[in-house]
Amino acid sequence: MIEKASNQTVLIAMTGGLESTVAAYLLKKQGYRCIGIGVQFFEPGENAGPFADVIVSDLNKVKSICTYLDISFYAVNAAEIFADTVLDPVVGRILSGNTFEPLVFLSCVLMELLSEKAAKFNTNLVATGHYAKVLKNQKTGSFELMVANDLEHDQSYLLSRLPQKHLANLVLPLSEIRKKEVQKIGELIKVDFSTRPKTNYAHIMHDPRMIELVEERSPKDLRRTGTIYDYRQESSLCEHLGIHRYYVGQKNLPSKPEVQIDPLKEVVSIIPFKGNIFIDYPERLQYSHALISRFVPAANLDITVPISAYVKMSLKGEKIPCRIYFKNNQTCLVDFEEIHPGLLVPGQFFTFYSRKAEKGKVVGSGIVELGGVFENGEFNTLPINKRDSDEEDNTKQTDEKLHF
């Protein structure tokens, strides 16, 4: 738990949900002078698409919760910076056939905004209801982002891009307690919490509502129409209505009644400038290495030598053992201990940890540029197709890579 405060002022991001409310409640109990901040990421009336499930939906509810807790409340409009930092990259990545991790960069926008507003209240302290932990390294004086005690609900992945200037001033009241305890504390607070709808989509970028969001924020000529191809057979299947309607890993592709697409196949590649979409069986897909760009190391991390680590590829993903080889210009090569099934998509966000379980700390984060396996001395992002090189001799085959 956090230590007693001598009436220090702290700005806390309030969403109207259980976690941020309990966080504010605990801070006030500890003697902090709390100021609740409700952040508006979209202009009134704007289509928020799938972001409607993760942002503040009702500022009046947040205000009423702050009134109940007897803390001040301020609403802040962050629509412009959110559009520049998150929405525009989301649209750009989708139109390029790649992916993005908007919730990580949403956290960065939130922290930048809170820090900016905190200065106006003569304080540096800001707080959120994330399940994560920040500790000061007594030897180096730097701040380290650690996993929460409740590993099942740990959210350090979402905060892994925060720089030292933000970690130094971040207060996380839920770092030491589990979600079940948070729920019990919430029962003592007699307010109507905002709840998040449960989604069937593994990632916010896969939500169908993203299609309309992209259409509203991009010119039509960038949403290329084109052809769906069978990658293995190298044959066209049907036309499609726009690459923004598809993502790598997508199954059960929509098609015309007269066209039968194998439901067991999924999108394995999108070529935006041609409007081409390739599908294949997922069991053929695998990766053993990844090239990472925009790698941001934790403070005092020695990047002159390779390190062993565990990588998390999504908020709910498992930690996978790997070895990191650092290169120039914020790049590194990730060598996984084993070959894994599936595909790595450019734009995918990686967070690296020192340990797999308890007491693990974030050692860095980065963005996938390329992922795949080495075959026949070459690095391939997709399986090598094997075709007959001589129609008269079906036993003679050569490995040939499909070039786009």
Kindly report, residue by residue over 279-330, the tens digit of the pLDDT: 999 999 999 999 999 999 999 999 999 999 999 999 999 999 999 999 999 9
Task: Kindly indicate the confidence band of residue 4, based on its pLDDT and cuts at 50, 70 and 90.
Answer: low
* pLDDT tops 80 at residue 393: no
Same domain, 176 and 60: yes
Spatial contact of 153 and 179, defined as CB atoms under 8 Å apart: yes
- On whether residue 174 sits in a domain, the answer given is yes
Q: What is the pLDDT of residue 57?
A: 84
- In 3-state terms the chain splits into helix, strand, coil percentages (rounded to 5) of 25, 30, 45
For the stretch 70-115, pLDDT in tens is: 999 999 999 999 999 999 999 999 999 999 999 999 999 999 999 9
In a domain, residue 36? The reply is: yes
Same domain, 163 and 20: yes
Query: 146-187: per-residue pLDDT in tens?
Result: 999 999 999 999 999 999 999 999 999 999 999 999 999 999
CA distance 395 to 398: 10
Write out the DSSP string of 222-290.
GS--EEEEETTTTEEEEEES-GGG--TT--S----TT----TT-EEEEEETTTTEEEEE-GGG-EEEEE
| Mean pLDDT of the residues in the chain | 91
Average pLDDT estimate for 246-272: 86
Is 198 a member of any domain? Answer: no
Q: Are residues 300 and 163 in the same domain?
A: no
> Which residue range(s) make up the domain with 237?
221-280
Question: Chain-centre distance of CA 170, in angstroms?
Answer: 20
Q: Which of 274, 279, 271, 225 is nearest to 249 (CA)?
A: 279
Distance CA 203, CA 151 (A): 20
Beta carbons of 368 and 346 less than 8 angstroms apart? yes
The CA-CA-CA angle for residues 109, 127, 296, to 5°, reads 50
Q: Does residue 204 carry a pLDDT above 80?
A: yes
For residues 326 and 304, the answer to whether their CB atoms sit within 8 Å is: yes
pLDDT-based confidence at residue 213 (cuts at 50, 70, 90):
very high
The pLDDT, as a whole number, for residue 258 is 65
Does residue 180 sit in the same domain as residue 297?
Answer: no
Q: How many domains does the chain have?
A: 3
